[in-house]
Chains A and B, each alone.
Chain A
Amino acid sequence: MLTNPVVDERSVAHPDPTLAQPAAQVIDAVKVHGKGDYQVRALDGVSASFAAGRFTAIMGPSGSGKSTLLHTMAGLDSLTSGRAFVGGTDIGSLNDRELTQLRRDRIGFVFQSFNLVPTLTAAENIALPARLAGRRVDRAWFDQVVETVGLASRLRHRPDELSGGQQQRVAVARALVTRPAIIFADEPTGNLDSRSGAEILSFIRLAVRELGQTVVMVTHDPVAAGYADRALFLADGRVVDDLADPTAASVVTRIARIGG
Chain B
Amino acid sequence: MFKLTLKELSARKRRLLGTGFAVLLGVAFMAGTFVFTSTLTSTFHSAIASADAGVDAQVRVPSTLSIGYGESAGSFDSSVAAAVRSTPGVQDVALEVSGYAQLVGPDGKTVGELSKAPAFGLNWVPVQALNPYRLASGHAPARDDEIVIDRGAAKTSGYGVGDVVTVLTKREPRRFTIAGTATFGSSDTPAGSTAVLFTTATASSLLAEPGRVDAIAVTAGPGVSQDSIAASLRRTVPADLEVITGRQLVHADQAAFDQQSDQIGLFMTIFAAVAVLVGAFIINNTFSITVAQRTRQLAMLRALGAGRRQLLASVLGEALVIGVVASAVGVLAGIGVANGLKALFTAVGLSLPPGPTVVHADLMVLAAAVGVVVTLTSAWLPARRAGRVLPVAALRETAVDSSAGSASRLVTGGILSTAGVASLLVGLGGAGVQLVGLGALVSFVGVAVLAPVLARPVTAVLGWPLRLGGLPAELATRNAGRSPKRTARTASSLMIGVALVAFIAVVSASMRTSFAGSLESRFRGTHVLDSGADYGGAGLSPALAASLASTPGVRAVTEARTSQALVGGSPTELSAFTPRSIGQMFDLGTVRGDLGSLGADGIAVDAEKAASAGWTLGSTVPVTFPGATATFHVRAIFDRSAEWVGDEFVGVGAFDALVPDTLDHRIYVDGTGAAVTAAAAAYPSATVLDRAGFVELTNAKIDQLLGIIYVLLALAVIIALLGIANTMALSIFERTRELGLLRAVGTSRSQVRRTIRWEAVIIAAFGTTLGLGVGTFFGWATVRALADKGITTLTIPVGTLALITAIAAGAGGVAALVPARRAARMNVLAAVATA
Interface residues, chain A, CB within 8 Å of chain B? 67, 71, 74, 76-77, 96-97, 100-101, 103-105, 109, 111-120, 128-129, 131-134, 174
Q: Once the chains are docked, how many angstroms separate the CA of A111 from the CA of B471?
A: 22
Q: Does B748 contact A (CB under 8 A)?
A: yes
Nearest chain A residue, comparing its CB with the CB of B479: A119
15 A-B contact pairs sorted by A residue (CB < 8 Å): A71-B833, A100-B747, A100-B748, A101-B748, A104-B745, A114-B741, A114-B832, A116-B741, A117-B741, A119-B475, A128-B471, A131-B471, A132-B746, A132-B747, A132-B751
Docked Cα-Cα span, A119 to B833, in Å, equals 20
Q: Chain B's interface: helix, strand, loop or mixed, by majority? A: helix
**Residues of chain B lying within 8 A (CB to CB) of residue A116:** 741
Instruction: State which of A118, A119, A174 has its C-beta within 8 Å of the C-beta of B745.
Output: A174
Q: Report chain A residues within 8 Å CB of B742.
A: 117
Q: Which residue on chain B has the smallest CB distance to residue A72?
A: B829
A128 touches B745 (CB 8 A): yes
Q: List the A side residues contacting B746 at CB < 8 Å.
A: 100-101, 103-105, 129, 132-133
- Determine the distance from Cα of A131 to Cα of B745 in the docked complex, in whole angstroms: 11
CA distance A113 to B833 in the complex (A): 10
Taking the nearest CB of chain A, how far is it from the CB of B514, in angstroms? 49
Chain B interface size, under 10 / 10 to 19 / 20 to 34 / 35 or more: 20 to 34
Contacts of B479 in A (CB 8 A): 119
Cβ contacts B735-776/A at 8 Å (1 or 0 each): 001100111111111010000000000000000000000000
With beta carbons under 8 angstroms apart, the residue of A71, A104, A115, A131 that contacts B741 is A115
Contacts of A119 in B (CB 8 A): 475, 478-479, 482
Query: A116 CB to closest chain B CB, in angstroms?
Result: 8
Instruction: Establish whether residues B741 and A120, one from each chain, have CB atoms under 8 Å apart when the complex forms.
Output: no
Residues of B within 8 A of A (CB): 470-471, 475, 478-479, 482, 737-738, 741-749, 751, 828-829, 832-833, 835
Task: Kindly state the separation between the CA atoms of A64 and B457 in the bound complex, as whole angstroms.
Answer: 50
CA distance A104 to B471 in the complex (A): 14
Question: Contacting A100 at CB < 8 Å: which of B470, B482, B743?
Answer: B743
A-chain residues with CB within 8 Å of residue B751 when the two chains form the complex = 132
Taking CB atoms, residues of chain B closer than 8 Å to A105 are 746
Task: Give the docked Cα–Cα distance between A119 and B470 (Å).
Answer: 15
CA distance A129 to B742 in the complex (A): 9
A103 touches B829 (CB 8 A): no
A residues near B747, Cβ cutoff 8 Å? 100, 104, 132
Residues of B within 8 A of A113 (CB): 835
Shortest beta-carbon distance from B738 to chain A in Å: 6
Q: How far is the CA of A113 from the CA of B737 in the complex (A)?
A: 10
| Shortest 7 CB-CB contacts between residues of A and residues of B | A104-B746, A119-B478, A76-B829, A77-B829, A100-B748, A131-B471, A103-B746
Q: Is the pair A114, B738 in contact by a Cβ cutoff of 8 Å? A: yes
A100 to B747, CA, bound (A): 7
* B741 proximity list for chain A (CB < 8 A): 111, 114-117
Contact yes or no, B470 A134, CB < 8 A? yes
Collect the chain A residues with CB atoms within 8 Å of residue B832's CB. 76, 111, 114
CB distance from B241 to the nearest CB of A (A): 82
Contact of A96 among B470, B749, B835 (CB under 8 A): B749
Q: Are B744 and A103 in contact (CB under 8 A)?
A: yes
Contact of B478 among A104, A109, A120, A134 (CB under 8 A): A120
Bound CA–CA A134/B751 (angstroms): 11
Shortest Cβ distance from residue A115 to the other chain B in the assembled complex, whole angstroms:
7
Measured between C-beta atoms, what is the minimum distance from B496 to chain A in Å?
A: 29
Chain B residue with minimal CB distance to A125? B745
CA A132 to CA B749, docked complex, whole Å: 11
**Interchain CA distance A103-B479 in the complex, whole Å:** 24
Most buried by A among B478, B745, B751, B829: B745
Report Cα–Cα, A102/B751, bound state, in Å. 15
The complex places the Cα of A117 from the Cα of B745 at a distance, in Å, of: 11
B552 to chain A, nearest CB (A): 79
What separation, in Å, do the CA atoms of A132 and B746 have in the docked complex? 7
- B828: chain A residues within 8 A (beta carbon): 76
Closest to A97 in B: B748
